Structure 1
Amino acid sequence: MKTGLLIPAIVMMAACHHPATLSVDKAWVRLSPVTDAPASAYFVLKGGAKDETLTGIAAPDAARAEMHENISHAGIESMDTLKLVAVRAGGAVPFALGGKHVMLFGLKPGIKAGSTTPLIFSFASGQKITVNAKVMPPGSSAPAD
């Protein structure tokens, strides 16, 4: 066996490596400063070995959850509803302040800063991922890891 060919093959395999599983990281919820206004959820979707599509998010502690994206067009800020979100294999899709986010309407009154709340992510493949999001007070930035 020629060992000179083995090293480049290992380097190529490492460069093409994608995480094996789809995941949701750094999930958190920011409470609204206004009573009865929706809270917002943020997180990072991390693609697995294959492309995937996020089809929805459920929040058992909220009456309803909707995916949105803040956009700016000609200096005018607006928010669009997202029905689907593509997650590329090995890629990352941030849901972050000023961009994509989830609005949580009718959050149960017992949900307070310092607690956690579950978020259930549904994908086109049928896969579901449940994470516990850290609940933060109004005006918070993303929590430190």
Structure 2
Amino acid sequence: MKKMHKIHSFAVAAAAGALLLTGCGAGPAKKDRTISVERPWVRLPAVAGEPGAAYFRLTGGAEGTSLVSISSPLVKRIELHESMTGGAMSSMKKLDDVDFAYDGTIEFKPGGKHAMVFGLPASVKPGTTLPLTFAFDAAPPVTVTAEVRSAAGDAHAEH
């Protein structure tokens, strides 16, 4: 009876250990839900003192994530905007935030969604960089370094 009890105890312990290990195992890999900001760049204004524009691509994120703001310690403020063309008319509207789907990608590019950069200092010239911090409602902030380009969009343009 004593031997049978040891075997039974060992079997129970082995089964419990196996269950614990399966709970701790890698299981199916979860997709990385971090948000990446790719190809960020800032176009300087054609006229000094006017706002510039920032362009980039957002990828990834959890379902229901929204970009709520962009900031930089070197500028006065940054606003999210969208340009629209209807017939012969073009217009631009300010956006409070921009939603993007889980595993989605949104392009901020000339003629569409973009960020208006107000109060660029004279020290920001083509070929330099500008730190940008992206804030989200359901994800940690992401800080990137954006390449600064001339009003024509060329990197390292002569002035």
Q: TM-score range by the shorter chain?
A: 0.7 to 0.9
Q: In proportion to residue count, which structure has more helix?
A: 2
Question: Per the alignment, in what secondary structure is the counterpart of residue 114 of structure 1?
Answer: coil
RMSD over aligned CA atoms reads: 2.2
Q: Could you tell me which residue of structure 2 aligns to residue 51 of structure 1?
A: 64
Q: Could you tell me which residue of structure 2 aligns to residue 111 of structure 1?
A: 124
CA distance in 2, matches of 1:18, 1:83: 29
Q: Report the CA distance between 1:72 and its aligned residue.
A: 1.7
> What one-letter code is carried by the residue in structure 1 that aligns with 2:119?
G
Q: Report the CA distance between 1:100 and its aligned residue.
A: 0.5
Q: Report the CA distance between 1:75 and its aligned residue.
A: 2.7
Q: Report the CA distance between 1:35 and its aligned residue.
A: 1.1
Q: Could you tell me which residue of structure 1 aligns to residue 146 of structure 2?
A: 133
> What one-letter code is carried by the residue in structure 1 that aligns with 2:46?
P
**TM superposition outliers: structure 1 runs of 4+ over 6 Å:** none
Which residue of 26, 42, 47 maps to 1:29? Answer: 42
Structure 2 residue runs of 5 or longer lacking an equivalent are: 1-27
Q: Report the CA distance between 1:18 and its aligned residue.
A: 5.2
> What one-letter code is carried by the residue in structure 1 that aligns with 2:147?
K
Q: Choose between structure 1 and 2 for higher RCO, CA contacts under 8 A separated by at least 6 residues.
A: 1
Q: How does 1:51-70 map to 2 (within 5 A)?
A: 51-70=64-83
Q: Could you tell me which residue of structure 2 aligns to residue 73 of structure 1?
A: 86
1:11-34 CA deviation, whole Å, 9 max, x = no partner? Answer: xx8xxx855321110000011110
CA distance in 1, matches of 2:80, 2:89: 20
Q: Could you tell me which residue of structure 2 aligns to residue 91 of structure 1?
A: 104
**What is the TM-score of this pair, normalised by structure 2?**
0.74
CA distance in 2, matches of 1:82, 1:47: 20
Structure 1 residue runs of 5 or longer lacking an equivalent are: 1-12
Aligned residue-pair number: 129
On the 8 A contact 1:67/1:100 being kept in 2, the answer is yes
